Amino acid sequence: MKVPTNLLRDAVRYYTEFLEPNYGSDESKQLVFALTEHFFGFDRLKLAFQPGHRLSESEMLTLHFAVKELKSGKPLQYITGVAHFSGHRFFVNTSVLIPRPETEELVNLAADFCRRMEHSSNVLDVGTGSGCIAISIKKLCPQARVQGCDISSEALSVARQNALSLDADVDFFVCDIQSYDSGYQPCTFDLLVSNPPYVLYADKIDMKSNVLEWEPHLALFAPDEDPVFYYRKLASMALNCLVPTGRLMVEIHERMGETVSNLFTESGFSGVSVYHDINGKERFIVATKQ
């Protein structure tokens, strides 16, 4: 055995060193403590108070295999099955994207809009994945009727589990926006929100391997020959499904602000505005159906 004492503090030291070539010393330590907290309820502080804490053989094995997964590049959230977003704990697996902190701002834009409405709003999240956007909106605006849809039934089963465990009354259904045609639920929604696939295959070279090798490409990549493919589909869906003065709110690639704004304006939306994310990058577009 690599840690003959079974002392948690020795295991933390050993596995931190083991991960160091991959993640550097600070991140390695954080990752190891994230695992010990998740599996055994021991964070840095608790260990400081109980320096003599020993792990059982089976706990040692759990930690060992989890660290090996980290070493192979698997993201922490897929190992623990937990991702924090908008103040909630979401279950995630490799069928869904790990929620990104900047997307919380899209939730806030959506929730502000729902709160300003006089009647309870009707909201649809297209390409919902883990359901993090739809569920977080529902938590912030309990009066709203919120639904989420996705092409992936595996993703929908994750979203449904999250709705259940977070006690959010959100309905999820299958939808394929690629083959969307305009006959569907006309003028029903006050708000369509979406974080569609927008990464270009051409940008693959700049991406970290833990994203590229583990996260679902279906949720990440837009076709290179038509980078705004999903935005065009969302625009036509929104023109059909939204009530007049309803809003379309989307997350975008930081370099797509102008292109997607023009697309929405040319499609007939008014008041098209670009919003920045927490890092000051163009990240969201809000458009109003006339």
Chain contacts with ligand GLN (rule: CB under 6 A): 100, 195-199, 211, 220, 251
Least Cβ distance, residue 248 to ligand GLN (angstroms): 15
Round to whole Å and give the CA distance between 66 and 46: 20
Least Cβ distance, residue 210 to ligand GLN (angstroms): 11
Nearer to ligand GLN, 31 or 220 (CB): 220
Nearer to ligand GLN, 117 or 211 (CB): 211
Q: What angle do CA 181, 123, 93 make, to 5 degrees?
A: 85
Tokens of 267: 């499609």
Least Cβ distance, residue 214 to ligand GLN (angstroms): 11
Round to whole Å and give the CA distance between 80 and 56: 19
Task: Give the distance, in angstroms, between the CA of residue 162 and the centroid of all CA atoms in the same chain.
Answer: 12
Round to whole Å and give the CA distance between 267 and 247: 14
Tokens of 79: 């190992």
Round to whole Å and give the CA distance between 272 and 50: 56
Least Cβ distance, residue 100 to ligand GLN (angstroms): 5
Least Cβ distance, residue 111 to ligand GLN (angstroms): 19
Least Cβ distance, residue 169 to ligand GLN (angstroms): 25
Q: How many CB atoms lie within 10 A of CB 24?
A: 10
List Cα–Cα distances, 77 to 46, 80, 153, 211, 216, in angstroms: 22, 5, 20, 12, 14
Nearer to ligand GLN, 251 or 282 (CB): 251
Residue 186 DSSP label:
T
Nearer to ligand GLN, 82 or 211 (CB): 211
Nearer to ligand GLN, 190 or 251 (CB): 251
Residue 285 DSSP SS3: strand
Least Cβ distance, residue 31 to ligand GLN (angstroms): 19
Nearer to ligand GLN, 196 or 257 (CB): 196
Q: How many CB atoms lie within 10 A of CB 188?
A: 15
Nearer to ligand GLN, 101 or 271 (CB): 101
The residues, ordered by sequence, that sit 6+ positions from 186 with a Cβ below 8 Å of its Cβ are: 240, 241
Round to whole Å and give the CA distance between 213 and 216: 8
